Amino acid sequence: MAPPAHEPARPVRVAVVGVGHLGKSHARVYSELEGAEIVAVVDTDPAAASGVADQTGAVALADYTQVPEDVEAVSVVVPTVGHREVAECFLARGTACLVEKPMAPTAAEAERLLQAAERAGALLQVGHVERFNPAVRAARAHVSRPRFIECRRVAPFSFRSKDVGVVFDLMIHDLDLISWLVGERVERVEAVGTPVLLRHEDVANARLVFEGGCVADLTASRVAAKAERALRIFQDASYISIDTMTPRVRVFRPTSKLAAGEIDVSSISPADLEDPKGFLFGKLIEIEEPKLPAEPPLQAELRAFVDAVRTGGEPAVTAREGLNAILLAERVLEGVGRSR
């Protein structure tokens, strides 16, 4: 039964397992998030756990099985190879879990997690935080039947995700985003890739063909000189440019006069134009820059998770969607293997 209107809702009691680079951020956001109470932080490094505990007011633990039974929600932010083991423990308790991306190192392990959540009737959300990027959130309302998508996610090597290649490290963000935006099954995957620093691929390119005909071209690299995260979506009568780093969104459309057929572009000669670019983007194409949400991506993601725990609603990124992203990543890796 919901509390009376005059009584504030009791905060959701949460814990964070794994307080490395990203886990620290989860703990900090929970400690500041209205509606959440961080109870425990867990790490095999006692100094790391104690440091984050001191900052957030949580209890520091070395063993995730010692997390109190009354904790209602857990962020699992351990290395990918440990996602299944840790999350299964909490799901068996009926505790809601947010498992960082990728959901598991293989589709088979991801399937086991999905089944564990279903057996226990426990909420399982996957941490595809790019869905909460302000630019993506603002752009989504303008996406309608994409025909071609170009995506680049490149950066210098972070020296953190050394247990997986660039497909599971970086490209999986965009495999999830593009599948979510297109909303169709992928019929065909072609891919190439090569290792540079480690035995895993550090550079990869994939071409996806969706059943409705949309084609997506994705490039991911972790040996680039500078970072770039950009999507360009082409669809009938519009083109959407998304920069998730800035962040910034621009929507390009024909002007009302061009759309109404009042301007015949085929009759225009370059000799008649003093400023061709100015004419193009003044008379023919208009540019809209949608207002972006102010809330940071991780805060929006964890707020959605806590809200779903409190209300019993659908998680923002379901376990099925997390599994599908891994299945698609494995198809990309198969294509990389064939190309080599």
The total of other beta-carbon atoms located within 10 Å of residue 5's CB is 6
Q: Is the peptide bond before 102 cis (omega within 30 degrees of 0)?
A: yes
Question: Looking at the domain assignment, is residue 4 inside a domain?
Answer: no
Q: Are residues 199 and 255 in the same domain?
A: yes
**Would you place residue 83 in the very low, low, confident or very high pLDDT band (cuts 50, 70, 90)?**
very high
Question: Looking at the domain assignment, is residue 2 inside a domain?
Answer: no
By residue range, what is the domain housing residue 66? 12-130+298-316
Query: Which of 297, 295, 49 is CA-nearest to residue 173?
Result: 297
pLDDT above 90: residue 322: yes
Residue with tokens 């025909």: 147
pLDDT at 293: 95
Q: Are residues 147 and 285 in the same domain?
A: yes
Q: Are residues 107 and 178 in the same domain?
A: no
**Would you place residue 272 in the very low, low, confident or very high pLDDT band (cuts 50, 70, 90)?**
confident
pLDDT at 7: 52
What are the angstrom distances between the C-alpha of 277 and each of 257, 265, 270, 286?
A: 17, 14, 11, 12
**AA letter at 220:** A
> Which domain CATH number covers 286?
3.30.360.10
> Which domain CATH number covers 309?
3.40.50.720
Q: Are residues 73 and 121 in the same domain?
A: yes
Q: Are residues 208 and 307 in the same domain?
A: no
Q: Are residues 265 and 144 in the same domain?
A: yes
| Least trusted range by pLDDT, from 5-14, 38-47, 103-112 | 5-14
pTM attached to this predicted model: 0.91
Report the domain count for the chain. 2
**Would you place residue 2 in the very low, low, confident or very high pLDDT band (cuts 50, 70, 90)?**
low
**Across 238-262, average pLDDT:** 95
Asked if 117 and 319 touch (Cβ cutoff 8 Å), the reply is yes
pLDDT at 159: 80
DSSP string, 18-46: --SHHHHHHHHHHHHSTTEEEEEEE-SSH
**Would you place residue 306 in the very low, low, confident or very high pLDDT band (cuts 50, 70, 90)?**
very high
pLDDT at 1: 46
Q: Are residues 152 and 90 in the same domain?
A: no
Query: How high is the mean pLDDT of the chain?
Result: 94
- Residue 222 in 3-state DSSP? coil
What are the angstrom distances between the C-alpha of 247 and each of 230, 259, 270?
A: 10, 29, 35
**Across 208-212, average pLDDT:** 97
pLDDT above 90: residue 307: yes
Q: Are residues 277 and 197 in the same domain?
A: yes
pLDDT in tens, 226-244: 999 999 999 998 999 999 9
pLDDT in tens, 175-193: 999 999 999 999 999 999 9
pLDDT at 255: 95
Q: Are residues 139 and 282 in the same domain?
A: yes
Q: Are residues 214 and 224 in the same domain?
A: yes
pLDDT at 269: 85
**Across 88-117, average pLDDT:** 97
% of the chain residues with pLDDT over 70: 98
**Across 82-88, average pLDDT:** 97
pLDDT in tens, 17-70: 999 999 999 999 999 999 999 999 999 999 999 999 999 999 999 999 999 999
